[in-house]
Structure 1
């Protein structure tokens, strides 16, 4: 469902939420090494997220990436939509070109409630919520 880019973006953003601050910024190499993703790929993803205002970037010797308080209140769905576009979750899980509630594939009625629940969480839980789960060991990013 998620592209590699979105997977790396989520892991990187949650890493920032857990570890970074305005006083302690992280470069893409440091993050990529920590979360075990290709650094050039992550750098490009972070440039895009920064350009869209979803993360913050600063240049210079003490530069790097971090999240401002308002960005911590954002959601992971905005990250996914920035990377993969808004229609990422509308495709049929078994690849049929036409699949909907009125024209369901064989697993549509099984998959649709799970997809809707996941979308609800991705839209309504904040990045800070996901970071908290990671900090307390309820989840992990690498």
Structure 2
């Protein structure tokens, strides 16, 4: 459903938020290790997220990535998906047909529209703070 870059982006932001709430700034390598992502790939994703204001990048010897508590509460999953994958998750056909629409639907069109609508609602209502709570308490994980 999401690209690999988007999956890593979500995991990276949740990790950065989790560490930021503990008062820590995290390095690129630490993030990549924590989410089991290649360092160079993680760097490109974090660059996109930083340029779009979702995470803060601090340069220098004690630099790294961080998020303010306000930003952690404000950023939604939809924000990350939009930056990394655009709106493709909300569009398109469940079977990959180019001309599927309400006038010429594929066999799963109407069910897929419902799934997409529920997914959109989930992404727009789930904050990074919501996700960080599960990671902080050990209920959910970013790496297995």
- The normalised TM-score by structure 2 is 0.89
Say which SS state the counterpart of residue 20 (structure 1) adopts: helix
Query: Where do 1:1-142 residues align within 5 Å?
Result: 1-21=1-21, 23-72=23-72, 73-142=74-143
Deviation at 1:21, TM superposition (A): 4.8
Q: Which has the higher helix share?
A: 2
Q: 1:6 to 1:27 in 2, by over 3 A?
A: same
Runs of 5+ unmatched residues, structure 1: none
Does structure 1 conserve the Cα–Cα contact (< 8 Å) formed by 2:20 and 2:68?
Answer: no
Deviation at 1:110, TM superposition (A): 2.1
Runs of 5+ unmatched residues, structure 2: none
Moved more, 27-36 or 93-102: 93-102
Please, what is the CA RMSD of the aligned residues?
A: 1.7
Say which SS state the counterpart of residue 77 (structure 1) adopts: helix
The total of aligned residue pairs comes to 142
